[in-house]
Chains A and B, each alone.
Chain A
Amino acid sequence: MLYAILCYDSEAAVGSWTKEQDAAAIAKLDVVQEKLAREGRLGPVARLMPTTAATTLRKGKETIVLDGPFAETKEALLGFFVVECASLEKAVETAKDLGRASSSTGSYEIRPLRLFRPGNLKT
């Protein structure tokens, strides 16, 4: 089963990391990702720009375009990994590995994928 591991954290806190802290956090996550890639389990990975760069469309009779994220929350969606995991157990374990690497305060939401199209974008 494919799982999306969605990373949430406070933007105010993550935005307070120094450049060095940010690079260190990313480097540690890279180590975990390399391992997943070697096992052939790693799909697309994305890091999102801050929610200030977000635009929300509300569908209705008339579509309304709003500045900002879909919802004002304490913790914003920062990015996600798509990972192949044999079971939820395995997915939890993988998320824990990622969590240990970043060791910040946020949370991970594990969501089984219903449809997956890897696409053909180049980085």
Chain B
Amino acid sequence: MTAIAWIDAALRGARPQAMAALLRNFRDLDLAEEAFQEACLRALRNWPSQGPPRDPAAWLIFVGRNAALDGVRRRRSERPLPPEEVLSNLEDAERSLAEQLDDATYRDDILRLLFICCDPELPATQQIALALRIVCGLSVKQIARAFLVGESAMEQRITRAKSRVAGAEVPFEPPGAVERAERVAAVATVIYLMFNEGYSATGSSAHVRASLCEEAIRLARLLLRLFPGDPEILGLTALLLLQHSRSAARLDPDGAIVLLEDQNRALWDRELVAEGIALLDKAMRHRHPGTYQLQAAIAAVHSRAAHAGDTDWPQIEVLYAGIERLEPSPVVSLNRAVAASKVRGPAAALEIVEPLAKELSGYFYFFGVRGALLLQLGRADEARVAFDRALALANSPAEAAHIRMQIDRLMKPND
């Protein structure tokens, strides 16, 4: 790896911690960002010749803080602080700072940094964009590309989101246990949504948007390092890893979605699968199930099946029933119906599907599933009506193609 590449990786890795500490210091997002940028510039100047500091985050915080203070002093025409060429070798200064960072405050700092991006007043896409900009350090251009919008439009969105966040006072005292748990849950939701933004992409946009999945996984890992014993954060991280393990198999060369049962399982990333399952195993030891854990468990059932035919559908039905109990939703019930059809046949599944008609009258998957079940039961005319309705409800050509493919697939009897 070239010097610039490892410095870049070190800066990216240290960013959340450094930004979080600088934010606590300055209590201002823009000032913190400026200080961090300045520290990065100095790192790029000094690290290649001096070698990396032992603790890059501590170095960046120290230098960023001094750079900002320097600016203040210069304005007051006082004497500047010693330059960072000297500082990087001042082990003591670094160590004392590093010790402070080991404190629990450091955990709450990073959580706060993540949390301010999750302002519920902001639309989800803006929360995601803000997190990508502030925590992950992606450029506006990169984020614009990931969201398939123009750079200036994204710039405006982020600026608006930032000023909104600056106005919302997030207290700097350490949060109480309940508040902390709420913050963790809010952050987890945004990470989940960020992943889905990237995951739902098809066609030519899929490759560009894959970066969203990778950033989401990085954030999930970060959150997990802060809360290593939180079963739902373990579950969330496991879920993202297991889903992402299939990324090479889930799109065909034209960028169309390949259904799970048709995927070439040899293309699944076994390292990610193994890590996802390891995290899920840890989560389950807590005997405190949650929806992320259950979703991850469903993903793991698929991961464990060497062939689609080996899938443990009874287990999947049980897991969907678990999600239904925790967070009842007609979409989850629909998913359980699909599992039930594999276990107990189309009639049993249709019994689950029919009562959902009213709530899911605008949901194209509902009609796709319903149509397939009707077809399996030999009720072809009713099936046709459901399929037509499904196609009319598809939101994009990719979705239409997807549902058509799903329909084609399910039209084969007893598959």
By a beta-carbon cutoff of 8 Å, the part of chain A in contact with chain B is 10-18, 21, 24-25, 49-53, 55, 65-68, 72, 74, 102-105
Contact = CB atoms under 8 A, between A and B. Distances in A.
A13 to B, nearest CB: 4
A105 B9 CA distance: 10
Contacts of A105: 6, 10, 52, 56
Contacts of B16: 12
A22 B154 CA distance: 30
29 contacts: A10-B10, A10-B13, A12-B14, A12-B16, A14-B9, A14-B13, A15-B218, A15-B221, A16-B12, A16-B13, A16-B218, A18-B214, A21-B9, A24-B1, A49-B278, A53-B282, A55-B282, A65-B285, A66-B229, A67-B228, A67-B229, A68-B229, A74-B54, A74-B55, A102-B1, A103-B6, A104-B1, A104-B9, A105-B56
B13 A50 contact: no
Interface of B: 1, 3, 5-6, 9-10, 12-14, 16-17, 52, 54-57, 98, 102, 214, 218, 221-222, 224-225, 228-229, 234, 237, 274-275, 278-279, 282, 285
A35 to B, nearest CB: 19
Contacts of B214: 18
A50 B237 CA distance: 12
A49 B214 CA distance: 17
B279 A52 contact: yes
A74 B94 CA distance: 13
A55 B234 CA distance: 12
Given A13-B14, A104-B6, A105-B56, 11 more contacts: A13-B6, A15-B218, A15-B221, A16-B13, A21-B5, A25-B1, A51-B225, A53-B275, A53-B282, A67-B228, A102-B1
A89 B58 CA distance: 33
A13 B225 contact: no
A74 B55 CA distance: 7
Contacts of B275: 49-50, 53
Nearest to B285: A65
Contacts of A67: 228-229, 234, 282
A123 to B, nearest CB: 12
B123 to A, nearest CB: 28
Contacts of A11: 13, 225
B238 to A, nearest CB: 10
A25 to B, nearest CB: 6
A66 B275 CA distance: 18
A13 B229 contact: no
Contacts of B17: 12
Given A12-B17, A105-B6, A21 B282 contact: no
Contacts of B5: 21
A53 B56 CA distance: 24
B13 A15 contact: yes
Contacts of A21: 1, 5, 9
A11 to B, nearest CB: 7
A110 B9 CA distance: 25
A89 B10 CA distance: 30
Contacts of B274: 49
B316 to A, nearest CB: 24
A91 to B, nearest CB: 22
B221 A103 contact: no
A53 B278 contact: yes
Nearest to A12: B13
A1 B279 CA distance: 37
The 4 closest A-B pairs by CB, nearest first: A12-B13, A68-B228, A13-B13, A67-B229
Contacts of A24: 1
Nearest to B275: A49
Nearest to B137: A16
Contacts of B14: 10, 12-13
